Amino acid sequence: MPAASTPAALGFRMPAEWESQAAVWLSWPHNLDTWPRHFRPIPAKFAEIVAHISRREKVRINLARPLQKRARSLINRAGAELANVEFFDHPTNDAWCRDHGPIFVKNDRTGEVALTDWRYNAWGDKYPPYDRDNKIPPRIGAALGLRRFENDMVLEGGSLDVNGAGLLLTTEACLLNKNRNPQLTRVQIEQNLRDWLGVHTILWLGDGIIGDDTDGHIDDLSRFFSADGIVTVVEPNRRDKNHRILQENLERLKSLRTTAGKKFKLAELPMPKPCFCEGQQMPASYANFLVINGAVLMPAFRQPRRDAAAAEVLAGCFPGREIVPIDCLDLVWGLGTLHCISQQQPA
């Protein structure tokens, strides 16, 4: 049973991404070291993404006040609905809002939206400093007047995906990594997820894709598209380094069961051909899509055939939503794309 004061005990749960949203949060890019020698196109790319989201819902942006004028100009030039764009004077170290931002939860009985605030250590202390990023959840909570539930466990939003009906999907490579919570057992980690995110079952996959510096975030691998459906990336080329990793994950998914004890509906999503920059393979994946009100923003990698094939799969997973491909080849040099930079706030 969850402790009496945990979000789950109070009736909160983390909604699925396809449920109605009030806003999407971003943290504006300013750290040149995140895209070394290739930062120049990044702010305009963020502005393009803001424009797409703003046509369907609010975009809320963490950004220190001195940088806001330039960002606003780029967003305006990108054709955003400016009435739907809100800036918050929240300084950050970096741009990965999925991981340093809050994970929102909702109480279906009262309608209250609250936030869970986990400890953030930049994926195992890989990229200090991260002190400003760690302050983003309390800053957002204060700015919006939302209740905040704090947990000292290290957890990033990109490491998990939920179906909104009690199931949570994650990876052993990330959540059981000793650079996160060496003091916690697997059982304790699972209980924290249940108590704070309102889930009842944790579904474990194995390793993440090549080039992923997060130690295997689920949002580059496998994502729920319905309560009993999971879309997962596959790589049929046996010579590709991702082939074995993704095949093993596919086999695990086939062995998992829904709450009703049935097999999941599985949709296989192609991987883009390996993307390199300066000789380094980047973690390019079509699974790093973002679901928003009425649409799915899909990362594209200037590979017309594969981009189109991925869009077709996602269209089948999300009928009634527009699939919007966004060129993310420059963005992924920072080692993440659309899902990594964003965090949805439930309506």
- Catalytic residue numbers read 340
Q: What is the DSSP string of 102-117?
A: PEEEEETTT--EEEEE
Tell me the residue type at 31. N
Q: Sign of torsion, CA 194 231 17 341?
A: positive
Three-class SS state of 282: coil
Q: Which residue has the tokens 């300066």?
A: 278
DSSP helix/strand/coil, 85? strand
E strand or H helix that includes residue 323: strand 322-327
State the DSSP string of 266-279: EEEEEPPSP-EETT
CA-to-CA separations, 20 to 17, 45, 68, 293, 301, in angstroms, rounded? 8, 25, 28, 6, 28
State both tokens at 170: 């994650």
Contact (CB, 8 A) for 220 and 208 = yes
Nearest one of 24, 31, 46, 176 to 102, comparing CA atoms: 24
DSSP per position, 118-153: EE--HHHHTS---HHHHTHHHHHHHHHT--EEEEEE
User: Three-class SS of residue 26?
Assistant: strand
